[in-house]
Structure formats: structure tokens, C-alpha cells
Amino acid sequence: MHVVDTMAEGTENTSFFRKWAMRQYWRMQQSQAVVSLLLWGTTITLLVWPYVSWRFSTQCDGALCFSASPFNIPSTYVGLAVIFLSVMFAVLLIGYLYDQVFSLWTEWRSVDMERNPYVTYALSPTWAMLIALQAETLKRSSPDDEKMVAQADWALKWCEAYTEGEMFARAVQRWDKDLGETPTFWFTSDEAMQRARDSVFEDEA
């Protein structure tokens, strides 16, 4: 028994660390699109600039020179801005081809949905409530249909299993705060509801 408890504790600690790491990754990911776009734009601009800077110099004597300073803005700034905007346009063009020509987003969305547990087998609190309500209604409206009652019981068992998860605990605590004490639903138990209320979340970790 002691070995089992130790293994369970180790698994819980590992799960906590993994979730903490993924939360930090999620936080960084929120700004990733904008930050990476700016970083790529500035990086490519600065890499290209040494090869074309002479065209924006007063010493330029070639066919394509842009040494003039429009609106009293140094030509160097104009050159850097043109390169940066060109990079942004190239990114936009690739995005347009990705979307309108090759339509790769449809396959990406399919893979994203397949990997989302709350679209395949897991239940969010909202879905659990809806499915449990439909299963209970079906069960009461077809008491003589043994197969239908068995399937309804299976659906209620499915919903009960996900009342032990963190998402349901968060929902119960929020419902308690916004609507008063949440009743014990027909597909769960008083003990499960109390465990949900006693759950502590490490969001600020």
C-alpha cells in the first residue's frame, strides 16, 4: 500500500509540474504570433540592409540610387522601412496562398480537433450538463426500452467520471460564487461536489 501511495504521489507531482510548464508555455504562446512576426521582420531587414545600403548612400553612383531624403527623412530610414514592409508583404502573400490557394488550414483544423480531448472523449462542464440532461430525459421517457436505458446509464456514468476533473471543479466554484450554492446534480454525488469545492488551483504559480 505504501508503494502504491508513493507512486500515486509521484504521478501527481509529475502531473503538476507538466501542467505548470504548459501554463507558462501557453502564456508565452499568446504573444508568439505578433512577437515572432516583428522579430522575423527586423532580423531579415537587418540581414538584407548591408547588401543594399549603398543604394541609399550619397556616394551611390549606380542606376538605382535612392539617396534623396523625402520629407526630410533620412534615406536610410526609408530603405529600412521599405525592406521591412516588403518582408511583411511576403508573409501576407504566403498567408494568402496558405488560405485561399492551398487551403491547408482545413487539414490543420482537422488535426487540431483530433488532438483535442474535449472534442473526442473528454467532457467540459457545459457538455457534461447537456449530455446528462439528455440522457436522463431519454431514460425517463423510455423506461421499457432496456437497451436505451443501458445506453443512457452509460452516458450518465461518462458524465459522472468527468465531475472529478479540474474543469468541473472550476465550474462549481464559479457557479457557487455567481449563483449561490450549486445543487448536487443527479449524475454525481455530494462527495464529488465537495471535492470540487475543496479543489485548489495553482494559477498564480
How many independent structural domains does the chain possess?
3
Judge whether 84 lies within some domain: yes
CB of 75 closer than 8 Å to CB of 68: yes
Judge whether 203 lies within some domain: no
The Cα 7–Cα 11 span in angstroms is: 6
Give the domain range for residue 15.
Answer: 1-30
Cα 200 to the chain's mean position, in Å? 22
Q: What percent of the chain has pLDDT over 70?
A: 92
Judge whether 75 lies within some domain: yes
* Residue at a domain's end among 78, 99, 115: 115
Residues 68 and 9 in one domain: no
Question: Does residue 205 have a pLDDT over 60?
Answer: no
Residues 48 and 96 in one domain: yes
Per-chain mean pLDDT for the chain: 87
Encode pLDDT of 26-62 as tens digits: 888 888 888 988 998 999 999 999 988 888 887 777 7
Residues 108 and 139 in one domain: no
* Residue at a domain's end among 90, 115, 140: 115
Residues 111 and 162 in one domain: no
> In which band, very low, low, confident or very high, does the pLDDT at 144 lie, cut at 50, 70 and 90?
very high
